Chain A
Amino acid sequence: MDRNNCCIIIVDEDRRQRADLEATLDRLGYHVVVADGREGLFQHLERGECSILIVSSAVCRDDTSAFLETVHRRRPDLSVVMLSDLPSMASVIATLRGGACDYLPKPYTLDQLIDCLDRAVTAHKLSSAHFGTRRPITAAVDRS
């Protein structure tokens, strides 16, 4: 999958950071769509046009597992990259268990972003092949 054929959706409630990332990905040659929150994201997911989701952890509203479960229920093949201003163990583990393919603390370099997207493309290919390989199983396990 080359960059021109790869659609990335960015979801970040911070308008400036969203615009900066959109401009960067555009320069890299990706097809980019943006959403300012969950509603916009889910509308895009229904159309099924994107293969990678880059989402700010703030969008998850302290419930990363539930958010990722909802996303993967709609699109099990979607590669999810979590961006975080405040990386924490709890956040990373919830992201891992939720089936995301990467976690990128802010601020990040261009090289780190490119590496991350390369991994996301690979993960999408694997998920597409198995359709559901990265489905979260947290719902099956009561961790309380």
Chain B
Amino acid sequence: MTTNPSILVVDDELLVRDLLYDFFSGQGWEISVAESGMKALNILNSKKIDLILTDLKMPEMDGMDLTLRVREEFPDMPVMVMTGYPSVDTAIAALRARVSDYITKPFNINELLKTMAAQIEEHQRLHGDQPRD
């Protein structure tokens, strides 16, 4: 895995964004945050991201719509979804959208870190680590 993975966290809740920003920054990771799917797409088009962690339930563009847009533009990008409102239907939709994982809130942040690190490492093993822009 690259020394400092670059991740994008998408959540409309400021508290969640702040929590994840502080934690992953503390791990030495490079973290970008977005409060909406549209802002996330803008970030994706402007910098190299190793993994996206997105909330499912958001206004306007929800996490599943964002995932489908990401699949069109960045087909191999690891995407993990998180939700406080888990359901069989959204989990199946996530599976079909080829998400890397489906995380239910509240989550254990150390477990989340291990899962994300493993996803990034697996992705880099398969696709190679390309230099950042």
Q: Specify which of A89, A119, A134 is in contact with B96 (CB 8 Å cutoff).
A: A119
Give Cα A74 to B91, complex, Å. Answer: 26
Q: Specify which of A96, A100, A135, A137 is in contact with B91 (CB 8 Å cutoff).
A: A96
Quick check: A88 and B88 within 8 Å, CB to CB? yes
> How far is the CB of A32 from the nearest CB of chain B, in Å?
23
Q: Which of A87-107 contact B (CB under 8 A)?
A: 87-89, 92-93, 95-97, 100-103, 105
Quick check: A141 and B118 within 8 Å, CB to CB? yes
> Which residues does chain B contribute within 8 Å of A93, judged by CB atoms?
91, 102
Q: Is the interface of B mostly helix, strand, loop or mixed?
A: helix
> How far is the CB of A63 from the nearest CB of chain B, in Å?
18
Q: Is B99 an interface residue (CB 8 A)?
A: yes
Quick check: A140 and B118 within 8 Å, CB to CB? yes
Q: Specify which of A100, A119, A137 is in contact with B122 (CB 8 Å cutoff).
A: A137
Quick check: B114 and A102 within 8 Å, CB to CB? no
> Which residues does chain A contribute within 8 Å of B67, judged by CB atoms?
none
User: Given the known A-B contacts A102-B96, A119-B96, A140-B118, are A92 and B91 also in contact in the complex, defined by CB atoms under 8 Å?
Assistant: yes
Closest to A142 in B: B114
Give Cα A105 to B127, complex, Å. Answer: 33
Q: Is B41 an interface residue (CB 8 A)?
A: no
Closest to B95 in A: A96
> How far is the CB of B76 from the nearest CB of chain A, in Å?
7
Quick check: B95 and A100 within 8 Å, CB to CB? yes
> How far is the CB of B130 from the nearest CB of chain A, in Å?
15
Q: Which of B76, B91, B114, B115 has most A Cβ within 10 Å?
A: B91
> Which residues does chain A contribute within 8 Å of B96, judged by CB atoms?
101-102, 119
Q: Which of A95, A132, A133 has most B Cβ within 10 Å?
A: A133
19 new A-B pairs (CB below 8 Å) besides A130-B127, A140-B118?
A: A87-B92, A92-B88, A92-B91, A93-B91, A95-B95, A96-B94, A96-B102, A100-B95, A101-B98, A103-B92, A105-B88, A119-B96, A126-B75, A130-B126, A132-B126, A133-B126, A137-B118, A140-B121, A142-B114
Chain A contact residues, CB within 8 Å of chain B: 87-89, 92-93, 95-97, 100-103, 105, 119, 123, 126, 130, 132-135, 137, 140-143
